Amino acid sequence: MNFGLKRKASAPAQTMWTADEIARLCYEHYRISLPKQGKPEPNREWTLLAAVVKIQPVAGQTCDSTDKPVQVTKDVVSMGTGTKCIGRSKMRKSGDVLNDSHAEVIARRSFQRYLLHQLHLVAVLKQDSIFVPGTQRGLWKLRPDLAFVFFSSHTPCGDASIIPMLEFEDQPCYPVNTDWANDLEASGNLEAEATEDKRKCEGPNNPVTKKMRLEPGTPATEVANGMAHYPSFGSQESGPVPPSVSSSNLASEELAAVPGMAPSGAKVVDVYRTGAKCVPGEAGDSGMPGAAYHQVGLLRVKPGRGDPTCSMSCSDKLARWNILGCQGALLMHFLEEPIYLSAVVIGKCPYSQEAMQRALIGRCQNVSALPKGFGVQEVKIQQSDLLFEQSRCAMQAKRAASPGRLVPCGAAISWSAVPEQPLDVTANGFPQGATKKGLGSLQVRSRISKVELFRSFQKLLSSISEDKWPDSLRVRKLETYQDYKEAASAYQDAWSTLRKQAFGSWIRNPSDYHQFK
């Protein structure tokens, strides 16, 4: 399959799957393959969902006709749910806690676990795998007919969530819920300072007080007293939250390029705001009323509840993966080229094609002089019209008249297409039910924590005879997690180039958090 990955795509490749097919497959997998444990409590909690889907052409097809769609199989190979991050004070130098449990990050770490298993199949067991031998000793590459699609039930937090709201236009959200503001404050979905900013920015004279239509068929709703009540689609630490995000950078020509966003000449009256905060060193948001509230294109960090996090926004991480690949530094030792996503599909939620393109591709499109095999990918970005059944919006619609708060689910679920213990349910970065007394033991570690993925990497390495090791692992004696990461020289060169040319303010954890063995 030549879909994305900087390879020429044949005409049939464009019709191999649809965004709705990807979303439907992921929602079905969530319902069937994930346990009740870790899922939101009915009528009280909501969560976010992300997954990686393997796309593979059905064997035996002839390629003599360009107008006949290629038949493909679609398989979920990793999945994650989650809405939370831990604060800086909760981070551990032992690598046994998940710092970031947003669904996209859980899905990507679960994908790395899947890739490790596939490498074990081909390099150790000599069995069929997604990998084939590369041209250099000890290196492997992805089979040329395979591709991976990333699915998220929601717009990634950070820059991609800065979405313009246009006057006289169907807004990219769902019917107004007058309890939204109360639910939001009660659930801690935004920090107190963000709530205060919201109050300051949305006075009675703000243009967002005008009537706006929502979904087709939904009657126009008056937004009274300067407080617009929209459903929030972000998590406790992120997500597009209605009157909030945009920037003075949202030029009319940019908005005109957004399909279906508004009739010609429509006025931008406000923006969806992201809870993610600008990192130190960036220009920062203006905080001005309406559409000028946010500055677009900036690196952002996920906010904590009183305890700041060191976790970059999901928009930033997806942009980084689009250049460095999803495999990370450790797995790059075994790979001839990075593992890129061919497409990103977003579920039904507040959405802007222009914002997604800017956040995931545009900010880094001029990065150059990358090592061989690395490059800015023209990842395909699409939106599905299917809503995730346990999203905040869906849950609000179900419990419209129910008493009590709607809050984000505190648990995160990881699932990988691996034969042994594919599931992992965590809360606050540790396996659900863990006690303080047990912290530090082997039993109280997520299977996708840094230390456990490192352990799996070391197990793979020890199963391969040294004469078949890749050259990058034969240069010097490596001991710590940091040693092995730094020894992936091509990956580190690519990361250094990306930081110098586009992401210079990226927050990096101190090296003493990577010294475990």
Q: In this predicted model, what pLDDT tens digit does every residue of 438-480 receive, in sequence order?
A: 666 666 799 999 999 999 999 999 999 999 999 999 888 999 9
pLDDT at residue 179 greater than cutoff 90: no
Q: What pLDDT is attached to residue 90?
A: 93
Taking the C-alpha atoms of residue 193 and residue 195, their distance in angstroms, rounded to an integer, is 5
Residues sharing a CB contact under 8 Å with residue 42, sequence separation 6 or more, in sequence order: none
Contacts of 474-479 spanning 24+ positions with Cβ under 8 A? 479/517
Residue 294 CA to residue 140 CA, distance in Å, equals 43
Measure the CA–CA gap between 278 and 300, rounded to whole angstroms.
4
Place 167 in a pLDDT band, splitting at 50, 70 and 90. Answer: low
Which H or E element spans position 401? none
* Res. 58: pLDDT tops 60: yes
What would the pLDDT profile of 274-328 be if each residue is shown by its tens digit?
A: 888 999 877 888 888 888 888 999 999 998 777 889 999 999 999 999 999 999 9
Q: How far apart are CA 477 and CA 461, in angstroms?
A: 13
CA 74 – CA 65 distance, rounded (Å): 22
Given a cut of 60, whether residue 202 has pLDDT beyond it is: no
Q: What is the mean pLDDT of residues 140-148?
A: 97
Give the closest residue to 342 by CA, choosing from 2, 1, 77, 5.
5
The pLDDT, as a whole number, for residue 231 is 32
- On the CB side of 491, CA atoms within 13 Å amount to 25
Nearest Cα to Cα of residue 46 among 337, 390, 300, 343? 390
Pairing of strands 430-431, 423-427: antiparallel
Model-level pTM?
0.81
Under 8 Å between Cβ of 175 and 215: yes
Burial class (CB in 10 A: 0-12, 13-18, 19+), 473: middle
Per-residue pLDDT band for 63 (boundaries 50, 70, 90) equals low
- Averaged pLDDT for residues 371-375: 97
Average pLDDT score over residue span 98-119: 98
* Residues with a known catalytic role: 104
Closest CA to 46 of 332, 476, 324, 391: 391
Query: Residue 314 has which token pair?
Result: 């999901």
Average pLDDT, the chain: 80
pLDDT value at position 46? 96
Q: Which of 161-165, 211-215, 395-399, 489-493 has the lowest mean pLDDT?
A: 211-215
**Range from 92-96, 131-135, 212-216 carrying the lowest mean pLDDT:** 212-216
Sign of CA dihedral 323, 328, 333, 334: negative
Burial class (CB in 10 A: 0-12, 13-18, 19+), 175: middle
What average pLDDT does range 248-272 have in this prediction? 50
The alpha-helical segments, DSSP class H, found in 207-286 are 252-256
In terms of Cα–Cα distance, which of 451, 357, 479, 392 is closest to 97? Answer: 451
Q: Which has the closest alpha carbon to 396: 240, 221, 232?
A: 232
pLDDT > 90: percent of the chain: 62
